[in-house]
A and B are shown apart, each in its own frame.
Chain A
Amino acid sequence: MKKRLSIFFSMLLVLSMFLAACGGKDGADSGEKGGDKDAGKSDVPQELSVNINTEPPSLHPGLAKDATSGTVLRQTFEGLTRIGEDGQPHEAAAEKIDISEDQKVYTFTLRDATWSNGDPVTAKDFEYAWKWALDPNNQSEYAYQLYYIKGAEDANLNGGSIDDVGVVAKDDKTLEVTLANPTPFFLELTAFYTYLPINSKIAEANPDWANDAGENYTSNGPFVMTEWSHSDKILLEKNEKYWDADTVKLTNIEMIMINDPNTELSMFDNGELDWAGAPTGALPTDAMQALKDEGRLVTKSIAGIYNYKFNTTEGPTANANIRKALAHAINRQEVIDNILQGEQLPAMGIVPPSMFPENEKGYFPDNDVEAAKEFLQKGLEELGYKDPSELPAIVLSYNTSEAHQKIAQAIQDMWKKNLGIEVTLENQEWAVYLDKVHSLDYQVARMGWLGDFNDAINFLEMYRDADGGNNDTGWESKEFQDLLATSATEGDHDARQQMLKDAEAVFMDDMPVLPIYFYTNNWVQADNLKDVVVSGLGDVQYKWAHFE
């Protein structure tokens, strides 16, 4: 009996030590954190809980350069304009916008509004913010978004004076902006985060104002940030001082940072999140079909393209006919239906349909194997080969990821079957991969591109110069360059649109890039959550959102 007891007690001791350790923590934690969570839950109706995936790298409008930071800034700040529920820019911090005859001078008249700490929002706050981003000493990586303003590029890159930048606060309420060229999409840009104002009083006194929530983090948008717990969560509260506060229904937004699609969906199913999936999070690919069958999946196309770039400077891909053969010989719909399962649109052009509606059809039919074979024949003749088997194997590169790999394997198979071309696959870690693609050390490489604002130039101008930072193909065309150059100074919307379309046609005729599909956003949302606005660019806004 005694033996048993001593074993029993020694184990009990170990166990109780463990339980004691846990118990202590339990009490401490539920006292602090559990408490305010329960308090929040009691006024359920207008509280939104969403996942934003990761820690936003910066919540300073001049330093932000990624979608996550953009998502938070769009709720907390108010630009001169804001993209409305209809997808068009509307007056926001500006109450009146006058545009000069030559479309180069914009005069914004600001409405009476205050920052969350009560300071008035002045024209100087905008001037300050834009010049801050353009000042090379501030290391803003997105400053180029401001280059449409006269003198901006010069000041940012070439040592031009910051005083010569075409933005002037005439008085507290009037901001005059002079552009380098007539820019028909400028009012879209003023809604973009690099164009947001900064409370100059605070920022001048405290350069680190944007590092944490608190009294220094003042904003002028529909919501204010009350807590920023790094890598964990961000809490927003309705901004009662917002000029349009009557429209804002949500009282609180909790943005958590979970970087695992399965967990995100589980939390949604468990009622811990009101939204799962794009644009702020992601859904597991395996769950797509089931969610679609249940009728819960919401799909919206966005301005973004998934494509394969060709190295046009060497190897078989330097031949336009070979490139075209490869582009015609893939069955995009099959890739979408079997691999992606997110109702993406097959891309047979490079500008998304939200900008060029006719691109829903594109420049050629999907899976046109006959045409592909003809192009291949021509290409082989030009290169002096008799048979596709003589062609050296083409190397298809992608950055390491399951989805990219599956797509590459499917396309490898299609090229082999339809054209008899051998393809080898190669994958690299992201930064290594980018380095190789940017230095043209590849043959065929996967890349994606998302528009920053709603204009076709977003998808074209990177191919203007062969040595441009994001061209990556080595392709250049005089005709294409001329069309882009004339479009930049064209004030008439339709004429300009036509020039951009012509430029795209030139591009597609040479096919330095093989378009595969246009991105979609897929998500599920709580049944009673209404009016969350997701724009054609995939930007989400909660200004109008409410629970029924």
Chain B
Amino acid sequence: MAKYIGKRLLYMLISLWLIITATFFFMRIAPGNPFTSEKQLPPEIEANLNAHYGLDKPWYAQYGDYLLKVVKWDFGPSFKYKSQTVNDLISEGFPVSFILGMEAILLAVAFGLILGIIAALKHNKWQDYTAMIIAVAGISVPSFIMATFLQYFLAIKMGIFPVARFETFMHTVLPALALASTPMAFIARLTRSSMLEVMSNDYIKTAKAKGLSQGVITVKHAIRNALLPVVTYMGPLTAGILTGSFVIERIFGIPGLGAHFVTSITNRDYTVIMGVTVFYSIILLASILLVDIAYGIIDPRIKLAGGKKGE
């Protein structure tokens, strides 16, 4: 196991290096620079700024410097936000996105699993159809429509929740719901189809023949195997949701990390682009690793480290 994880960590480092390299060069190829603005700067001042931020050095020197800084976990100052470094931006924005993301993931997983399991157990009955209508709606309604819809009815019309911002728990409910709706629907559909598949397996029939109750069969035998596709989906989902959504954060005025992924590119804020990309990649790669480890725990037939025993 340790050997396996060690090997995976090494691959992760290589992937990270590839991502950094690709982002670094694509970013530089894009026209414009951090000082591009409607009111153009005198060339002398721009030269001065370039020198200050090291943008006047040859590309390989800048690239080398940057790699060194990433190793030291120092992403440098933001070009646009003079009062903050990229590390500040991440350490202030990420906790906010993380809390919101965790809420959304819990919602999505809890309700997605419940809907999916009910739908599978009551296959082709009204419960199934109801659950799947909810799921189809959840998948097809984009999150920004869902957000506006929730905001309009629950906050403005009914006044149960505040319209926007990130202050108390009540403020987090609507954005978490909006964020959760699509993944919840997705999880419900995944669970339903894999449950249906598993339920028709021989071992479930054996369990039934043994006289085990429906509850024991579902919880002990079926759900465990039916979870695999959901777990696979959880990897990228977690990374995506925990680092924040641009659209949801914008609509609800949440000071998370999501906005930086988009605005940093518009601003050509080189250091922020790199910083959030590296950060996101690390979270993504880590969650993929966790998913792979989780496979082994959920289904011992999947061998991680060349182990000998199947089931």
Please report A residues at the B interface, Cβ cutoff 8 Å.
2-7, 10-11, 14-15, 17-18, 21-22, 25-26, 29-30, 33-34, 37, 55, 57-60, 63, 136, 139, 141, 143-144, 156-158, 210-212, 229-232, 256-260, 262-263, 266-267, 269-270, 272, 429-432, 434-436, 438, 447-449, 469-470
Contacts and interface: CB of A to CB of B under 8 A. Distances in A.
A258 B165 contact: yes
Contact of B156 (A231, A260, A270): A270
Nearest to A272: B163
B163 A470 contact: no
A272 B155 CA distance: 11
Nearest to A23: B169
A81 B207 CA distance: 86
A33 B96 CA distance: 14
29 contacts: A3-B213, A3-B215, A3-B216, A6-B219, A11-B114, A14-B110, A18-B106, A21-B106, A29-B168, A29-B169, A33-B168, A57-B83, A58-B81, A139-B45, A139-B48, A139-B52, A141-B45, A157-B44, A230-B84, A231-B93, A256-B165, A257-B253, A258-B165, A262-B251, A266-B152, A270-B163, A431-B33, A432-B30, A448-B38
B151 A263 contact: yes
B164 A435 contact: no
A230 B89 CA distance: 8
Given A55-B81, A232-B255, A431-B36, A267 B219 contact: no
A7 B36 contact: no
B72 interface: no
Contacts of A3: 213-216
A141 B156 contact: no
Contacts of B32: 430-432, 434-435
B156 A210 contact: no
A25 B213 contact: no
B113 interface: yes
B266 A18 contact: no
B23 to A, nearest CB: 16
Contacts of A141: 35, 41, 45, 49
A251 B148 CA distance: 33
Interface in B184-229: 213-216, 218-219
Contacts of B102: 21
A518 B88 CA distance: 39
A184 B167 CA distance: 48
B233 interface: no
A266 B215 contact: no
Contacts of B81: 55, 57-58, 230
Interface in B135-181: 148, 151-152, 155-156, 159, 162-169, 172
B303 interface: no
A155 to B, nearest CB: 12
Contacts of B48: 136, 139
Contacts of B89: 230
Contact of B162 (A229, A272, A432): A272
A470 B80 contact: no
Contact of B163 (A156, A157, A263, A431): A263
Given A58-B81, A232-B166, A430 B251 contact: no
B253 A263 contact: yes
A7 B82 contact: no
A431 B259 contact: no
Contacts of A156: 44-45
Given A29-B168, A257-B255, A434-B36, A230 B114 contact: no
Contacts of A257: 253, 255
A36 to B, nearest CB: 10
Contacts of B251: 260, 262-263
B110 A435 contact: no
Interface string B237-252: 0000000000000111
B74 interface: no
B31 interface: yes
Nearest to B96: A232
B216 A429 contact: no
Nearest to B219: A10
Nearest to A28: B169
B215 A144 contact: no
Interface string B20-48: 00000000001111011111111111001
B163 A267 contact: yes
Nearest to A268: B163
A438 B266 contact: no
A448 B37 CA distance: 12
A37 B41 CA distance: 42
A2 B217 CA distance: 12
A212 B114 CA distance: 47
A153 to B, nearest CB: 9
A212 B88 CA distance: 12
A393 B102 CA distance: 54
B65 interface: no
Contact of B92 (A6, A33, A231): A231
A6 B213 contact: yes
A266 B253 CA distance: 12
Given A6-B213, A141-B35, A22 B49 contact: no
Given A3-B215, A7-B215, A230-B92, 11 more contacts: A3-B216, A6-B215, A14-B110, A60-B82, A139-B52, A157-B42, A231-B255, A266-B155, A267-B164, A270-B162, A448-B38
Contacts of A263: 151, 163-164, 251-253
Contact of A259 (B37, B42, B166, B250): B250
B250 A231 contact: no
Nearest to A434: B36
A29 B173 CA distance: 13
Nearest to A24: B169
Contact of A469 (B40, B82, B216, B219): B40
A258 B218 contact: no
B99 interface: yes
A266 B164 contact: yes
B148 A212 contact: no
Contacts of A57: 80-83
Given A55-B81, A141-B49, A230-B255, A30 B169 contact: yes
Contacts of A435: 31-32, 36
